[in-house]
Amino acid sequence: MKVEEIIPQYYDSNIYIINRKIIIDTGMTEDYVLRCIEEVMPIEEIELIILTHAHYDHSGCANAILSRSNAKLAIHEADAPFLSEDNLSGALNFGSRASCSPPDITYKGGEMIAIGPNEEGVEEYLEVIHTPGHTVGCICLYEANSKTLFSGDTVFSDGGIGRTDFKISAAEKMTESIDKLTKLDVENLCPGHGRPTIGNANRSIELSKMMSSRMNP
């Protein structure tokens, strides 16, 4: 799996380009994000946009990418209704309006998304893991061969966790969701904000679980 990261600007989410055909989250600073994607690959070659959740800082540039490609848009079914909600998506907090198109694909959790073969010719997949807490429809994406977890705003490096005080949060589910992640063998953690953890990321997830247990008893 080839992962290329777009370093965010202002309050953008991190953006990850997988094998130069799949984008995980889109940020919201349109001109900057589009320019950065074009430095990596032609936008029209993007095949799939996966949103880890519906918040505007992760979804705000989705329509701009969709308008220049034949990509499909995917998100968990529980968060799909919030993509077009100014308040619930958080768009108003950034002085913007929610204008994201309805998704082409909705997940429930447990899906395996084919991302292409690795250098040895073995097909690789992103596993969709439903992790409600930050929002009701948050997902993480796990690639088993490289032991890489794309964690959205569920967990961050060094034991951080996503906020659970939004109207579409599920605070009571957060610790349970992080507990799911502790069962995985995670070497590399690619969060929705902040720097990735490369090596022994399970330790970071364990710290996140401890933090959530204190904050969301």
Roughly how many angstroms between the first and final C-alpha of the chain, as a whole number? 37
User: What percent of the chain clears pLDDT 70, i.e. is strictly above it?
Assistant: 100
Q: Is this model's pTM higher than 0.95 or not?
A: yes
* Structural domains in the chain plus CATH codes: 3-215 (3.60.15.10)
Residue-wise burial string across 186-195, b where 16 or more C-beta atoms lie within 10 A, e elsewhere: bebbbbbbee
Q: Tally DSSP H helices, then E strands, for the chain.
A: 5, 12
Two tokens at 56? 């505007």
The average pLDDT across 47-54 equals 98
**Geometric angle at alpha carbon 135, from 133 and 137, rounded to 5°:** 100
pLDDT surpassing 80 at residue 70: yes
User: What is d(CA 144, CA 78) in angstroms, rounded to the nearest whole number?
Assistant: 25
Any idea what DSSP says for residue 38? H
The confidence score (pLDDT) of residue 77 equals: 98
Q: What are phi and psi of 180, to 5 degrees?
A: -55, -40
Q: State the pLDDT confidence band at 7, using cuts at 50, 70 and 90.
A: confident
Amino acid at 13: S
Per-residue pLDDT tens digits for 119-150: 888 899 999 999 999 999 999 999 999 999 99
pLDDT surpassing 90 at residue 51: yes
The average pLDDT across 40-61 equals 97
Q: What is the mean pLDDT of the chain?
A: 96
Strand order in the sheet with 3-6: 3-6, 15-18, 22-24, 48-50, 72-76, 105-107
pLDDT surpassing 90 at residue 216: no
The confidence score (pLDDT) of residue 120 equals: 87
